[in-house]
Amino acid sequence: MIYTLPEVVRPLRDAFFMAEMEPAPTPRFPVRERDDARLVARADALAGAVVADAAVPTPAVPAPAKEELPKEERESKKEAAKESKEVSEAPKEVAPVSPPPETEDQPLPIPIARLVPKLKKSAKLFLEGKKRIPNSSSSLIRVASYDPVPPFIARAKGARIWDEDDNEYLDFNLAYGVLINGHAPSEQVRAVQEAAQFGFHFASPTVLEIEVAKMFQKMVPNAERVAFCSNGSDATMNAIRIARAVSGKDAILKFEGHYHGQHDLALISAEAPPVVSGLDEYPRPMPNSAGIPPGVTDYVMVAPYNSITAFERMVRRYRNRLAAVILEPVMANAGVIPPEPDYLKRLVEVAHENEMIVIFDEVFTGFRVAPGGAQQLYGVEPDLSCWAKALGGGVPVSAVSGKAEYMDMIAPGRVSFGGTYFANNLSMAGTLANLKMLHRGGEELYAKFGRLTERLAKGLTEAARDAKISFLEQHVNGILQFFFTRRKKIVNYRESLQIDWNLYLRHHQLLLDKGIYIHPDNYERITFSSAHTEKDIDKFVQVATETLKELRTLPRDYLP
């Protein structure tokens, strides 16, 4: 089918950039409040604003004050002014028109009004950052959905973080699941410091790299080989390439809503509003970013997660083209969606019957739901696996592991694999220390993650029941997410759209105000570290008991 540009771009813009839609009581599609122009205007207004009294529930945003610039900048502005005088004949640039900030007629929502006085420095930094870095952050998700502004984090230790305004938070985002041993654990800090003294990176093979591989294999028994890279996207990109090379086939099958990183093949149908992406059983592949050539979708088939029938149907139809199936064994990029009983086992069987390679993307689940990831938790064996996040516990590292027959195809003139920073000394030293801590913690540590997860699951469910709010919580050892929905269960991406996205966003703001740090995006999730205690969980529950009750008192359009 041939699409016209607006047909393709408009739904993508709506889905990916979360254009503002009218809040509805039970939205079919998550209503994502991300009108960038409005947020920019609000952030700009807040920077340098005279702070309104926090106790006043709905203050109007004060007019933007003149920005205080550092000395060098004032100098360079003077220079620029001088220069501009010299070329005063040149045509004047037309100032971009930005929407006006909220006025008295449009009061700030209560949770935001409460955050405004607390995030003064963050608001200023956000404004300054945007002049230099697109969106003021090199990774969009760090600013997306935050309203009024993302807190700029200044320091962290254990389970706690502090922002530039010195607000303290209990961190349950943990750098998107990375910090399995909490922030800056002394043992890991020491290891990185010691390695740094001998040289950051030699870009040569090292003893340290072999040490990390040995420790990795202790924790992931079926890793006959492991090769390291820098982030999760590197790992999935390379695993797909290996699978295509060894199978001689060119297409992959992925699942709707599964996220495998930022390369072109991975950014297909990571999000896909059903209204433009086909039937539930036959999702149409949808690029999730401008700049992905349309031809990429010729190489990606998309199926709904958790349906073996749909998977088998796709595989039967395209088996001659399908090199591999790649999946998040526990879907962790649409909240938390565990696999149905026996789903993973059957999926591996069907794939192998049809000569497809099975790639588990354990970037989120690896070293978290169990030492050896979801494959260990559910007792299934993929052919190749991708790891990152909790593997390094904060240092940039990822890995592809798997059967020797596939991994040994990495060789000169065969499958290419490499990167200047892959397996650098600082990452390897930090990874080794992190894995040693996890290995030492062993079963008891993973049982602790389980206890913390269960405790929070129970506490939040009770708090929501007391507040009489429609609520669903789903979890697997070490990861949890909750949704405001009347559904009793969510098993795939399309069901995950039946949630009240806006309410989660508002609730996040209430939590942030009371010192609980989670991500505003309902498709992220809550995670735990070895630094978290039962007391921390109880604090979260106690805060949520208050915030969920308050959520009911907010103006009606925030409620499901």
Site for ligand PLP in 57-86 (CB under 6 A): none
Active site residue 71: no
Beta-strand runs (E) in 469-509: 472-476, 479-483
Q: Is residue 388 close enough to count as binding ligand PLP by CB under 6 A? A: yes
Interface residue with ligand PLP among 167, 306, 307, 333 (CB under 6 A) is: 333
C-beta separation of 257 from 333 below 8 A: yes
Give the residue ranges of DSSP H helices in 71-223: 71-86, 110-115, 120-130, 174-177, 186-197, 207-219
x-marked contacts with ligand PLP along 166-185 as a string, rule CB under 6 A: ----------x---------
User: Toward ligand PLP, which CB reaches closer, 236 or 376?
Assistant: 236
Smallest distance, ligand PLP to C-beta of residue 493, A: 14
DSSP letter string over 50-98? PPPPTTSSSPPPPPPPPPPPPHHHHHHHHHHHHHHHHTTTSPPPPPPP-
Smallest distance, ligand PLP to C-beta of residue 59, A: 36
x-marked contacts with ligand PLP along 291-330 as a string, rule CB under 6 A: -------------------------------------x--
Please, which residues have CB within 8 angstroms of residue 342's CB and are 6 or more apart in sequence? none
Of the candidates 478, 488, 479, 559, the one whose C-alpha atom is nearest the C-alpha of residue 524 is: 479
Site for ligand PLP in 80-119 (CB under 6 A): none
Smallest distance, ligand PLP to C-beta of residue 495, A: 19
Catalytic residue among 259, 406, 493, 558: 259
* DSSP 8-state symbol, 395: B
Q: How far apart are CA 201 and CA 120, in angstroms?
A: 39
User: Toward ligand PLP, which CB reaches closer, 31 or 326?
Assistant: 326
User: Toward ligand PLP, which CB reaches closer, 11 or 396?
Assistant: 396
Interface residue with ligand PLP among 15, 149, 180, 363 (CB under 6 A) is: 363
Catalytic residue among 163, 171, 361, 500: 361
DSSP letter string over 314-379? HHHHHTTTEEEEEE-SSB-SSS-BPPPTTHHHHHHHHHHHTT-EEEEE-TTTBTTTBTTHHHHHTT
Q: How far is CA 318 from CA 96, 315, 356, 361, 528, in A?
A: 50, 5, 11, 22, 40
Residue environment code for 303-340, b if the CB has 16+ CB neighbours within 10 A, otherwise e: bbbbbbebbbebbeeeeeebbbbbbbbbbbbbbbbbbe
Interface residue with ligand PLP among 126, 146, 216, 364 (CB under 6 A) is: 364
Site for ligand PLP in 342-361 (CB under 6 A): 361
Active site residue 361: yes
Smallest distance, ligand PLP to C-beta of residue 429, A: 19
Smallest distance, ligand PLP to C-beta of residue 262, A: 6
Residue nearest to ligand PLP (CB): 232
Q: How far apart are CA 348 and CA 89, in angstroms?
A: 70
Smallest distance, ligand PLP to C-beta of residue 553, A: 35
Of the candidates 306, 298, 368, 310, the one whose C-alpha atom is nearest the C-alpha of residue 496 is: 306
Q: How far apart are CA 364 and CA 219, in angstroms?
A: 16
Judged by CB under 6 A, how many residues of this single chain contact ligand PLP?
A: 14
Q: How far is CA 2 from CA 197, 250, 402, 522, 549, in A?
A: 58, 22, 39, 33, 50
C-beta separation of 323 from 356 below 8 A: yes
C-beta separation of 237 from 462 below 8 A: no
Smallest distance, ligand PLP to C-beta of residue 313, A: 25
The CB density around residue 187, as the number of other CB atoms within 10 Å, is 12
C-beta separation of 388 from 398 below 8 A: yes
User: Toward ligand PLP, which CB reaches closer, 188 or 262?
Assistant: 262
Give the three-class secondary structure for 398: strand
Q: How far apart are CA 522 and CA 474, in angstroms?
A: 12
User: Toward ligand PLP, which CB reaches closer, 259 or 471?
Assistant: 259
Smallest distance, ligand PLP to C-beta of residue 362, A: 8
Tokens of 92: 């004047």
User: Toward ligand PLP, which CB reaches closer, 181 or 231?
Assistant: 231
Catalytic residue among 146, 147, 389, 406: 389
User: Toward ligand PLP, which CB reaches closer, 361 or 495?
Assistant: 361
User: Toward ligand PLP, which CB reaches closer, 257 or 459?
Assistant: 257
User: Toward ligand PLP, which CB reaches closer, 34 or 389?
Assistant: 389
User: Toward ligand PLP, which CB reaches closer, 282 or 421?
Assistant: 421
Please, which residues have CB within 8 angstroms of residue 117's CB and are 6 or more apart in sequence? 51, 52, 53, 54
Q: How far apart are CA 312 and CA 331, in angstroms?
A: 19
Give the three-class secondary structure for 153: strand
Site for ligand PLP in 208-267 (CB under 6 A): 231-233, 236, 259-261
Q: How far apart are CA 323 and CA 98, in angstroms?
A: 48
Q: How far apart are CA 275 and CA 40, in angstroms?
A: 29
Smallest distance, ligand PLP to C-beta of residue 528, A: 16
Smallest distance, ligand PLP to C-beta of residue 492, A: 16
Active site residues: 259, 361, 389
Which residues contribute to the site for ligand PLP (CB under 6 A)? 176, 231-233, 236, 259-261, 328, 333, 361, 363-364, 388
